[in-house]
Amino acid sequence: MKQELDYRNKFILAPMVRVGTLPTRLLALEYGADLVYTEEIIDWKLLRAERRINDVLGTVDYIDTTDGTTVFRTSPEEKGKVILQIGTASVERATAVGQMLQQDVAAIDVNMGCPKDFSIKGGMGVALLYDLPRAKAILEGLVRSVTIPVTCKIRLLPNIDDTIHLARELESTGISAIAVHGRTKTERPRDPVNEAAIARVAEALEIPVIANGGSQSIMRRNDILKFAKKCGTSSVMVARSAEWNVSVFRPDGPLQLEDVIRRYLTLSVRYDNSPSNTKYCVQMMLRSLQESPIGRRLLDSQTMQQICDIWDLGEYCRQTQLTYHDAGIKGRRTCRPRYLSGNENIEVDEIECKKLCLNVVGNGDPVIEENICFIRANFTKDTELPKTKLFMYARRNELQLAQYDVIQKDKLFKAFIYFDGKRYSSTFWEKNKRYAEQAAALVALLKLGVERREELVMDGAMMMDTKEETIEGLPCSFKPEKPS
């Protein structure tokens, strides 16, 4: 049976690349949005992901099997309100994605408005507006193959009559609504939005039209209503205004940015959002304040703990991450390559990884390991880098210099050090060769007594080992607060 979703009279968070992840979507709903779109996710990224129930977070995760990153995460709080936007140029891939995710999202939207070169060269985004047969085939395939509503998001064509003809053709595929960005593919946010053109499209169609592109004039919820009236629609999709301050949806007016950032960070920690994505979203909120002292601190941050420390949430972050770690959450710290190079049919398990390591380091001597990652922001001077410290240690003690070996599997790297008759490595697989070598050097320095475990924990480079361990007053028994 086909499910339905009412697109009329809705305040909607627009799809925004890198912004529309779970914390932002939940915050938009909390502040008064009715529906929230994910960021655009390319079809093949979803198709190579595995669906996993995350009991620790209470979420459903789609995990990239090549590097362990989260492609899409959703929680019960947004059930029935989250719409997946996909980038696609293929009927087969689009329908496969739809069937794969329809149990976890309220609807699927096809991006037909992105003007970026990446999308256009791949036949996606706004390129579909100039390939109507393909655009219709994708929508028709989705409408036939899934039980949830299907929509699309378009831009204006240079001629309004051509835009109306296009919209009617797309409507004929059976989609439930269409979002219209009131600019052409060559126009940018600084150009005025064509409200009259959106109104012409809305008048010509039977299905709901969602107006988009009015962020230059939107500062609060009442401005959203004014924009809807000018566009002749009952629903509005808000992008940049929400990116800058998502409390724009609040009926009582937007909140101070400081309060919004703190709430956003709380949700990011609660739902184990990636530090890089969290940092990007906060930077977008700060805008011109990125050059302020607080903005410079954010720019220098690399871990979630470092970001949260700026807004006095560092302790909450540390304790929450420790709780998740003890509960066995499958994050980057437990990521392993999925396949052996050259044979994608053989998965690499923990035993296979150890065999691989022995082959690299040679004679079978035991490898001394710790789960330590290298965080560049922790080392403000090149003279303080782990490899440099290990070099100086060898010189002072008249020892042979360390020898480094690195293996690469999929997109991940692991380094091994032979130093003073012992072998060292981190169990953490890094995303580049240089970081892998620095992480292995940190392990050696820790075991040699040059680095202190307490400082590495405080810097976010490693986790405490057991639930009983306490370091400098940081208790391990802690339950993260639920978002209020």
Token pair belonging to 254: 């937007």
Please give the Cα distance from 472 to 7 (Å, whole number): 53
Give residue for tokens 């949260």. 308
Catalytic pick among 114, 152, 357, 476: 114
Residues 414 and 232: their CA atoms lie apart, in Å, by 57
Q: Write the CA distances from 211 to 168, 198, 353, integer angstroms.
A: 16, 7, 52
DSSP symbol at 462: B
Task: Pick the closest to residue 274 from 64, 81, 118 (CA basis).
Answer: 64
Q: For residue 371, give the nearest of 320, 331, 409 by alpha carbon.
A: 331
Gap between the Cα atoms of 397 and 416, Å rounded: 21
**Which among 375, 359, 462 has a CA at the least distance from the CA of 409?**
359
Which tokens belong to 192?
């005025």
In this structure, are residues 3 and 147 in contact, taking their beta carbons and an 8 Å threshold? yes
Q: Can you list the alpha helix ranges (DSSP code H) found in 155-250?
A: 160-171, 195-204, 221-231, 240-244
- Amino acid letter, 180: V
So what's the pLDDT on residue 466?
A: 43
Please state, in angstroms and as integers, the Cα–Cα distance from residue 1 to each residue in 24, 144, 148, 149, 266, following that order.
31, 12, 9, 11, 38
| Whole-number Å distance between alpha carbons of 209 and 431 | 43
Q: What is the pLDDT along the chain (484 residues), one digit of tens a residue?
A: 889 999 999 999 999 999 999 999 999 999 999 999 999 999 999 999 999 999 999 999 999 887 778 999 999 999 999 999 999 999 999 999 999 999 999 999 999 999 888 888 899 999 999 999 999 999 999 999 999 999 999 999 999 999 999 999 999 999 999 999 999 999 999 999 999 999 999 999 999 999 999 999 999 999 999 999 999 999 999 999 999 999 999 999 999 999 999 999 999 999 999 998 999 999 999 999 999 999 999 998 878 988 999 999 999 998 998 888 778 775 555 566 654 333 444 344 444 444 444 444 445 578 999 989 898 878 878 899 999 999 999 999 999 999 999 998 877 899 999 999 999 999 888 888 999 999 999 999 999 999 999 888 877 788 765 443 433 333 333 344 444 4
- Establish whether 476 is a catalytic residue: no
